[in-house]
Amino acid sequence: MIRMRKAFDVTTLPGFTFIAITAFVLLYAPIVTLVIYSFNGGNSVNLWGGFSLKWYAEAAGNEAVQGAAVRSFIIAVSASGIATTVATMAALGTTRRGKFKGQTAIYIMINQPLMVPEIVTAVALLIFFSSIKIATGYTGLGYLIIAHAAFCVPFAYLPIRARLEGMDLTMETAAADLYATPWQTFRYVTLPILMPGVIAGAMLAFVISLDDVIITEFVKSAGQDTLPTYMLGQLRRALTPEVNAISTALLALTVVILTAFFLITRKRD
Amino acid sequence: MSEEHAVVAQNVGKVYGTGAAAFTALGDISIAIRKGEFFTLLGPSGCGKTTLLRCIAGFETPTSGAILLSGRDITGVPPNQRPVNTVFQSYALFPHLTVAENVGFGLKMQGKSKAEIDAAVDRVLGLVKLEPFATRLPAQLSGGQQQRVALARALAPEPEVLLLDEPLSALDLKLRKAMQVELKRLQTETGITFIFVTHDQEEALTMSDRIGVMSAGALLQVGSPHEIYEKPVDRFVADFIGETNFLEGEARADGVEIAPGVVLPVTGHAGPVTLAVRPEQLRIGPPGEGLEAEVAEAVYMGTDTHFTLTLAGGPQVVARVQSRAGPEPRVGDKVGVSIDAAAVQVLAE
C-alpha cells in the first residue's frame, strides 16, 4: 500500500512540545503557588509554615472582608442584571431587522468599553460622578453599580448577539403567522431560543464586575471597598496569606461560573 | 368580488426602494382564487410569486391595490390577525418546542383551551401520520418529517387559506413525489384553499386545480393545467411549461408557411406568426407521409426517444416518440413528419 502524505501538522515542528509546556507553566505556576500558600500555616506569602486553614478562617471572620464580599456581590448581581437587560435590547435592536446604514458604527459604539482604556473611563467617571454627588448628596453604592453595568454591557452583548445572529428571522415571521402578537412572539419564541445567550452574557458580566479594580478604585466612596480593592489596600500594608485565601475563593467561584457558562453555551447547540 | 372567492388580489403592486433604485417586484396583479381550490403560482425565481404570497400572508404590505379574504379587505391587517397560515420553505419550526408544541402553537396563541389544543394536535398529527413523534424535538426528525410537522402546524388552526412557499424544494425526488400526492390528499380531505408557490412546472401540473404563471412581476396566464399546457397564451408560458417547438412563419389563406414551400394547414390567421407544437404531438412515419425531414439527432431517454428533425427548408423541430421494440429511425434517415393542426398553438407575439 502507498503511504499517504500526511497533512500539515504543527505538532511535528521542532520545539513545539517545549514551547507548549513553557507557556502552560507560565500560565499556571503562579496560580498554583497562590493556591498552595493560601493553606500556609505561617504568616508569609512565600515561606511555607505547614498546612493550615487558618487564613480562610481569618478572612471569613474579618469584618472588612465580609463587608467587601457583600458589596462585591451586590454590585456584581445588580450590574450584570442591568448590563444583560441593556445588552439584550441592544442585540435585538441590531439583529432582528435587515441590514442598516451605520451598522458597524453602532457595533463599535456598543462595544466602546472594550476599546477605551479603562483608566480613561475611570477618571471620566470620577469627575462625572463627583459633580453628581455634590449636586444630589447621594453617596451610596449606586455609582459603582451604574459604572460596572456600563463596562459590562459589551461582555453581555457579544454572546447574546452571536446567538441572535445564528437565529433565522423566519422564526418571528412564523410566530406572527400563527397568531402570536409581537409580545407573544418575544415571550414564546425569541426569548426561549435566546436564553442560553442571555445566561452566558449575564455570567460573563458577573465575573467581569466581580474582578474589577481600576474603575471601582476611582469611583468608590470611603468605606465602599469591594474584595479586589480591599486586597489592593492590604498590599500597601502587611501582606498575609489572607489575600491568598480570598483570591483562591474568588478563583473557585469564577471557575464554577465559567464552567457553567461553557456547559450552557455548548449544550444547546 | 363575491364571497365564493377565498382570496382576491385587486391591482396589487409592490415596489421596493424609491427613485432610481426602485425595484418593481409586483406589477399590477389581479387574481381571484376560489374557495377550496388548489391554486399554484408558478414562475422562475425572482418573478414575484413569493412576494405575492407574502402580501397575502401579511408579511409584506402592497404599495398599491388591495387584498380581500372572503370578501373582506385585509390589506393592512397584521399577519397574526389573518386566518391564513404559511408553510415556509425553510420550515421555520421552533427548535425549543416539541413536535406537539409546535403544532399546537397557533391554537395556544389564539387562546384555545388545553383540551381543544390537545384534540386538534392529535387529529392533525394523525392526518400527517406523525403521532409517534409528538414528544420529539424538530432536530431529532428527518427533513421529510420536519416538512410534515410544518404542514401540521399550519393546518392545526384550520385556516381559511393555507400558503405554501416552495415547501418541497429541500426534499429529494422520491420524497417530493410522495409529498405531492400527500399534499393533494390533505387538500381534498380538509377542503382548505391551498395557494402553492413553485418554480417546478411538473409539480404545478400534477397538483393544481388552476395555475397562475408569473414572470417579471406580472401574471401572464391563469388556467387549469390542461389550458396552460395545451393553450399557452404566449411564448414565455409555452416555453416555461414543458418543452415546445417554436416555428416562425407567415400566415396565408391555405395555412402557415414555415419555410419556402412548407405549409402547415393552420388557417384563420394573417401576417407573421409563431407556432408552438409540443414534441409529443409530432408523429414520425415513412418518407412521403406529411412533411419531409431528416433525423439530425436521436437521444434515447428510456421511456421515449427525442429526435431532432431538420425539416425541408431548414427549421428544426424536436419530436418525442415512445420507445417500443423494433427498428427506430437513425441519424441521417429520411422520414416523414405529421403534425396535427389541432395540436398547433398560434401564439400572440
List pLDDT tens digits, range A1-36.
455 566 778 888 888 889 999 999 999 999 998 899
CATH of domain A64-267: 1.10.3720.10
Structure confidence at residue B1 (pLDDT): 46
Written as nine digits, the cell of B42 is 408558478
Digit-coded pLDDT (tens) for B153-167: 999 999 999 999 998
* Other C-beta atoms lying within 10 Å of the C-beta of residue B102: 27
Model pLDDT, residue B41: 93
Provide the percentage of residues in chain A whose pLDDT is more than 70.
96
Is domain B5-238 given the CATH code 1.20.140.10 in the classification?
no
- Give residue limits of the domains in chain B: 5-238, 275-347
Chain B residue closest to A268 (CA)? B96
Q: Measured between alpha carbons, how far apart are the two ends of chain A, in Å?
A: 41
Digit-coded pLDDT (tens) for B104-131: 999 999 999 999 999 999 999 988 888 8
Q: Which residue in the set B80, B90, B108 is minimally distant from A181, CB to CB? A: B80
pLDDT of residue A235: 81
Give the type of residue at B268: G
Q: What is the pLDDT of residue B109?
A: 94
Which tens digit of pLDDT belongs to each residue from A39-88?
A: 988 887 777 888 888 889 888 888 888 999 999 999 999 999 999 999 99
- Confidence grade of residue B269 (pLDDT, cut at 50, 70, 90): confident
The CA distance from A158 to the nearest CA of chain B, in Å, is 22
Q: What is the mean pLDDT of residues B30-51?
A: 91
User: B96, A193: Cβ pair inside 8 Å?
Assistant: yes
CA distances from A53 to A4, A43, A66, A227, B175 (A): 58, 12, 17, 19, 68
Q: What integer is the mean pLDDT of A125-140?
A: 89
Prediction ipTM score: 0.79
Cα-based distances in Å from B339 to A49, A84, A125, A134, B203? 109, 75, 90, 100, 28
Cβ–Cβ < 8 Å for B12, B25: no
* Superfamily of segment(s) B275-347: Nucleic acid-binding proteins (2.40.50.140)
Cα–Cα distances (Å) from B309 to B34, B254, B300, in that order, read 43, 24, 14
Would you state the pLDDT for residue A189?
93
Residue B103 Cα, gap to closest chain A Cα (Å): 10
- pLDDT of amino acid A5: 61
Q: How far apart are CA A168 and CA A185, in angstroms?
A: 14
Q: Give B58's contacts in chain A (Cβ within 8 Å).
A: 176-177
Q: Which residues in chain A (142-201) have CB-CB distances under 8 A to chain B? A: 168, 170-171, 173-181, 184, 188-189, 192-193
Cross-chain residue pair A171–B106, CB shorter than 8 Å: no
pLDDT bucket at B280, cuts 50 / 70 / 90: confident
Per-residue pLDDT, B292: 83
Cα B282 to chain center, whole Å? Answer: 25
pLDDT at residue number B346: 83
